[in-house]
Amino acid sequence: MQLFPCPFCGLRSEGEFHFAAEAGKTRPVTTRDVNAEEWAAYLFDQKNEKGATREVWTHLPCAEMFIMSRDSVTMEVLGTQTLRKLPA
Ligand SMILES: [Zn+2]
């Protein structure tokens, strides 16, 4: 089992994490801004790029979401970035 770094808790077992989405997607402001096909594409279409990727993950015990950069081929974690400021 692989260890993933949570920016708030440190290294934890990958089973504690949940993939949320590829990073960089822009969510429509409301579902009224798009038709059903465009909304479904926003929710379900993924690029599934090979190599370096940026993804939004959630660490379930602390419920924090963050961006994890990793290589989709080797599964090496390249870094993390918080979506909010870390507590001082
Ligand atoms: Zn955490």
pLDDT tens for each residue of 57-80: 999 999 999 999 999 999 999 999
SS3 (DSSP) at 34: coil
Place of tokens 């001082």: 88
Is 88 a member of any domain?
Answer: no
Q: Who surrounds ion ligand 1 at CB < 5 A?
A: 6, 8-9, 59, 62
Query: Domain limits at 13?
Result: 3-82
Q: What is the pLDDT of residue 30?
A: 79
Indicate the pTM of the whole model.
Answer: 0.82
Which CATH number do you get for residue 37?
A: 3.30.2270.10
**9-36, pLDDT tens digit by residue?**
999 999 999 999 899 888 888 778 899 9
Task: Report the domain count for the chain.
Answer: 1
pLDDT per position as a tens digit, 38-56: 889 888 898 888 999 999 9
Residue 87 resides in a domain: no
Compute the Cα dihedral for 38, 42, 48, 51 and give only its sign: positive
Q: How far is the CA of 63 from the centre of ligand 1 (A)?
A: 7
